[in-house]
Chains A and B, each alone.
Chain A
Amino acid sequence: MTVNELIDKLELEVLNLEEGDRQIEGGYTGDLLSWVMGRAQSGDMWVTIMTNVNVIAVASLVDCACVVIAENAEIGDEVIAKAKAQGINLLRTPLSSYKICNEQILL
Chain B
Amino acid sequence: MSEPIRFHFDVDGDNFSSAGEASVQVKRMLRQIGISPDVIRKVSVAMYEGEINMVIHANGGDADVIVEPNKITIVLKDVGPGIADINLAMQEGYSTAPENVRSLGFGAGMGLPNMKRYTDDMKIESEVGVGTTVTMTVLF
Contacts and interface: CB of A to CB of B under 8 A. Distances in A.
A61 B110 contact: no
A37 B114 contact: yes
Chain B interface helix/strand/loop/mixed:
helix
A32 B108 CA distance: 7
B19 interface: yes
A52 B103 CA distance: 10
Chain A interface helix/strand/loop/mixed:
helix
How many chain B residues sit at the interface, stated as a range, is 20 to 34
B34 interface: no
A62 B23 CA distance: 12
Contacts of B48: 37, 57-58, 61
Contacts of B82: none
B24 A34 contact: no
Interface of B: 16-17, 19-21, 23-24, 27, 37, 41, 44-45, 48-49, 104-106, 108-111, 113-114, 117
6 contacts: A34-B110, A52-B105, A57-B48, A61-B41, A61-B48, A63-B37
